[in-house]
Chain A
Amino acid sequence: EDQVTQSPEALRLQEGESSSLNCSYTVSGLRGLFWYRQDPGKGPEFLFTLYSAGEEKEKERLKATLTKKESFLHITAPKPEDSATYLCAVQAGSGNTPLVFGKGTRLSVIA
């Protein structure tokens, strides 16, 4: 059974204090790993897709990396507006398989 585990469950940072969120996965045949941001009362918003180990993608203060067992979402010098829940999801197997989501990391950035 495909599993996605995110840690920590919650993270509280001071503004400017860099950190990383972890997404570890146990799947057969990873086809893609996705990061989403979710604000309270809203639907998830796409951030990144990573397809192979060693791949990295950046967007503003966020950088996502991928290894064969896990992905990290690095947040550099975060601002209060970065506060949100960050979700990780994987697509695995063959054919048109849907995404399997982790439970998310709730990030709070304090000014």
Chain B
Amino acid sequence: NAGVTQTPKFRILKIGQSMTLQCAQDMNHNYMYWYRQDPGMGLKLIYYSVGAGITDKGEVPNGYNVSRSTTEDFPLRLELAAPSQTSVYFCASSSGFRGRNTEAFFGQGTRLTVV
């Protein structure tokens, strides 16, 4: 059982370039999330999705876009990369029960550096 798979693990981008961070889960979870983690700052929510075709902004959505065409996949798009987007990005998924979040399962992260 693979759980949550993120690709790539590492990436270096030049300012102004674009890229897509891939995330796939095989647990049939409805909810999926993208977080970024900066040193000493905890996890900040970028975007999330409660099901295929439904996405919503989190705390720090500027400079990012997402789509959710299938239950399994939740790619994160960076347009016009900036140094402020240097961070570690985590994708996560969870199921829900009676409106409550169950535990979220996290991928191993993508370490992105923008130079």
Contact = CB atoms under 8 A, between A and B. Distances in A.
Interface of A: 9, 31-32, 34, 41-46, 49, 51, 87, 89, 91, 94-104
Interface string B57-89: 010000000000000000000000000000000
B45 A98 contact: yes
B42 A104 contact: yes
A91 B42 contact: no
Nearest to A10: B40
A102 B42 contact: yes
Given A32-B100, A98-B33, A46 B105 contact: yes
A94 to B, nearest CB: 7
A30 B4 CA distance: 27
B100 A91 contact: yes
Contact of B100 (A9, A51, A87, A102): A51
Interface string B95-111: 01001111111111100
The DSSP consensus for interface residues of chain A is loop
Given A96-B50, A103-B40, A34 B103 contact: yes
The DSSP consensus for interface residues of chain B is strand
27 contacts: A31-B100, A32-B100, A32-B101, A34-B103, A34-B104, A41-B109, A42-B109, A43-B90, A43-B92, A43-B107, A44-B104, A45-B106, A51-B100, A87-B42, A89-B43, A91-B101, A94-B99, A96-B50, A98-B31, A98-B48, A98-B58, A99-B33, A99-B45, A101-B35, A101-B43, A103-B40, A103-B42
Nearest to A48: B103
Nearest to B51: A96
B42 A98 contact: no
Nearest to A85: B42
B4 to A, nearest CB: 8
Contact of B106 (A43, A51, A98): A43
A101 B38 CA distance: 13
A81 B71 CA distance: 36
A44 B42 contact: no
Contacts of B12: none
Which of A9, A49, A97, A99 is the most central at the interface, judged by chain B CB atoms within 10 Å of its CB?
Answer: A99
